[in-house]
Amino acid sequence: MPTPSAARVHTATVVDNVQVAEGLWRLVFRAPKLAANISSGQFFSIAVPGAPKQLARIPLSFSIADFDAGTIETVYAVVGPGTQALSQMAPVPPLRCLALAGMDGSWTPSPNVASWWPAA
């Protein structure tokens, strides 16, 4: 029997969404349950509010999870209409993201496979 997915829909509040370089933005949002449970190798997918033409969620990896503040930080590139709409998002309205997809941080790389994670 397959293991149930840990992915859940979370409602998050945008804390900050600022341009950090040409075409690059830093998004910080508050989602305490997500921040407490996300680990390296996992990602989330954001449904951009106010972007009706953006049917698919935007998949992003996280840079920092602050467990105490309950926030998640990501840096993303504006490469199309979805991320352009995301870059215009202000601290309101809340956004919805599907999260805890991907590896759970317990993955052990094969010695024959290059990895971004250091060996334990």
What tens-digit pLDDT sequence spans the chain (120 residues)? 666 666 778 788 889 999 999 999 999 989 888 888 888 778 888 888 776 677 788 888 888 889 899 998 999 999 988 888 889 887 766 667 766 545 554 544 444 444 333 333
Is 110 a member of any domain? no
Is 119 a member of any domain? no
Is 109 a member of any domain? no
Is 48 a member of any domain? yes
Is 49 a member of any domain? yes
What's the CA angle centered on 32, arms 26 and 35, to 5 degrees? 60
- Beta-sheet strand order (sheet of 58-61): 58-61, 42-47, 95-102, 8-21, 24-30, 71-77, 64-66
CATH code assigned at 82: 2.40.30.10
Residue 16, phi then psi, degrees to nearest 5 = -155, 145
Q: Which domain holds residue 96?
A: 8-102
In the prediction, which pLDDT does 100 show? 58
The total number of structural domains in the chain stands at: 1
Residue from 26, 118, 37 nearest 77 by CA: 26
